[in-house]
């Protein structure tokens, strides 16, 4: 992984592009209560600077203002990395890629983007709210607070939709073949985007699911948060209400055939298989590809997962199944 990324050469006198995006957000007809997941359709300025390249791809840093104004100024700029293949057949499919909870240095997500780009699929990594440059230096782990977690996810969904509008306007991208790839946290946020955004033609959700409250009260990773909530006297019923604004099953509705592939782990204690199946059923997903592993253990199948993702994104619409 690191070897491939280290092959990228930092670009001297890197070219910079600037422009304005005038987004048009189209919600799916079945999307209910989508207002909090839909940005205002206002033009926004963007800046794209090349930061690395080799003979196959260029990596560019994209920044633009978030459509949501949080209390933290550094969080109000969206930071992305765009992996663009030099030889991509234009226009073609492209993907938004969303990272997982503990990929705080983005090493794995960068590898996913790099791999997709080398397969001819432009890939845009979006750093979710309060990750990377968006996190105040003194901020504690906001995932320990539902009061911060919920608005962060809602902001992230709107940010991703703006990034999707930017990606669809690129000359090398077919706007009718825009896709999303999300892993774990990225699959949950991506599932919300998929629920509402009609311009997202296909998606691959890896290690995602529905019923957030069940994940909260059963996953090993949320043990510290459960302790905080229990100390505050919050019950399962109370947290279900707190999580309702970002519950994937609240928004999910059947999708057109060929839209969604899910990849999950049969022995997952973080996102139990029942939670994954519930979301697949709500979306009428084309398939759930089950791996006989745990949540973190799926990493050993990363190359096989990437092959499946690439194949799904590149198939013609009538042939994706």
Got the DSSP string for 86-100?
TT--SSEEEEEEE--
Residue 44 domain-assigned (yes or no) = no
143: pLDDT strictly greater than 70: no
72: pLDDT strictly greater than 80: yes
Of the chain, the percentage scoring pLDDT greater than 70 comes to 92
Residue-level pLDDT at 318: 54
Domain with 142 in it:
2-7+56-319
List the structure tokens of 293. Answer: 């592993």
Residue 168 domain-assigned (yes or no) = yes
* Alpha-helical segments (H) within 170-247: 185-196, 212-218, 223-231, 236-243
Residue 37 domain-assigned (yes or no) = no
The pLDDT of 89-110, averaged and rounded, is: 91
Residue 13 domain-assigned (yes or no) = no
8: pLDDT strictly greater than 80: no
Per the structure, how many domains does the chain have?
Answer: 1
2: pLDDT strictly greater than 60: no
d(CA 317, CA 20): 30
The model's confidence at residue 88, banded by pLDDT at 50, 70 and 90, is low
Lowest mean pLDDT among 3-12, 29-38, 168-177: 3-12
Please tell me the total number of residues recorded for the chain in this structure.
Answer: 321
Residue 114 — φ and ψ, nearest 5°? -60, -45
Residue 196 domain-assigned (yes or no) = yes
223: pLDDT strictly greater than 80: yes
CB 60 within 8 A of CB 51: yes
Residue 15 or residue 45, greater confidence:
45
242: pLDDT strictly greater than 60: yes
- Count CB-CB contacts under 10 A for residue 224: 11
Residue 23 domain-assigned (yes or no) = no
Nearest to 183 by CA among 116, 303, 239, 264: 264
The predicted model scores a pTM of 0.93
d(CA 128, CA 267): 27
Residue-level pLDDT at 144: 66
Residue 77 or residue 148, greater confidence:
77
The model's confidence at residue 216, banded by pLDDT at 50, 70 and 90, is very high
The pLDDT of 56-78, averaged and rounded, is: 97
Conformational region of residue 131, where left means phi above 0, alpha means psi within -120 to 50, and beta covers everything else: beta
> If you count DSSP H runs as helices and E runs as strands, how many of each does the chain have, helices first?
10, 10
- Tell me the chain's radius of gyration from C-alpha atoms: 19
CB 117 within 8 A of CB 60: no
d(CA 71, CA 74): 9
Task: Give pLDDT tens digits for 259-287.
Answer: 999 999 999 999 999 999 999 999 999 88
Q: What is the CATH number of the domain that holds 271?
A: 3.40.50.1820
Which helix (H) or strand (E) element contains residue 49?
strand 44-53
The model's confidence at residue 3, banded by pLDDT at 50, 70 and 90, is very low
List the structure tokens of 31. Answer: 């999307």
Residue 169 domain-assigned (yes or no) = yes
Residue 252 domain-assigned (yes or no) = yes
């Amino acid at each position: 992984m690191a070897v491939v990324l280290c092959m990228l050469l930092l670009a001297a006198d890197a070219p910079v592009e600037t422009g304005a995006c005038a987004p048009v957000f189209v919600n799916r007809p079945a999307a209910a209560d989508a207002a909090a997941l839909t940005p205002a359709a206002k033009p926004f300025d963007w800046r794209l600077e090349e930061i690395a390249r080799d003979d196959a791809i260029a990596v560019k840093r994209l920044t633009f203002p978030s459509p949501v104004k949080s209390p933290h100024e550094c969080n109000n700029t969206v930071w992305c990395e765009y992996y663009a293949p030099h030889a991509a057949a234009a226009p073609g499919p492209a993907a938004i890629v969303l990272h997982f909870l503990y990929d705080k240095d983005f090493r794995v997500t960068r590898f996913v983007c790099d791999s997709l780009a080398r397969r001819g699929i432009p890939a845009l990594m979006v750093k979710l709210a309060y990750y990377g440059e968006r996190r105040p230096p003194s901020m504690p782990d906001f995932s320990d607070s539902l009061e911060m977690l919920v608005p962060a996810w809602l902001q992230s969904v709107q940010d991703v939709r703006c990034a999707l509008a930017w990606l669809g306007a690129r000359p090398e991208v077919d706007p009718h073949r825009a896709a999303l790839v999300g892993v774990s946290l990225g699959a949950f946020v991506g599932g919300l985007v998929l629920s509402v955004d009609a311009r997202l033609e296909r998606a691959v959700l890896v290690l995602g699911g529905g019923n957030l409250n069940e994940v909260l009260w059963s996953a090993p990773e949320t043990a510290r948060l459960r302790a905080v909530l229990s100390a505050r006297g919050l019950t399962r019923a109370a947290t279900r209400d707190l999580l309702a604004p970002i519950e994937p099953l609240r928004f999910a509705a059947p999708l057109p055939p060929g839209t969604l592939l899910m990849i999950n782990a049969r022995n997952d204690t973080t996102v139990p298989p029942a939670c994954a199946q519930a979301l697949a059923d709500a979306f009428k997903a084309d398939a759930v590809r089950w791996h006989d592993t745990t949540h973190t253990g799926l990493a050993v199948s990363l190359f096989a997962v990437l092959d499946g993702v690439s194949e799904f994104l590149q198939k013609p619409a009538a042939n994706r199944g």
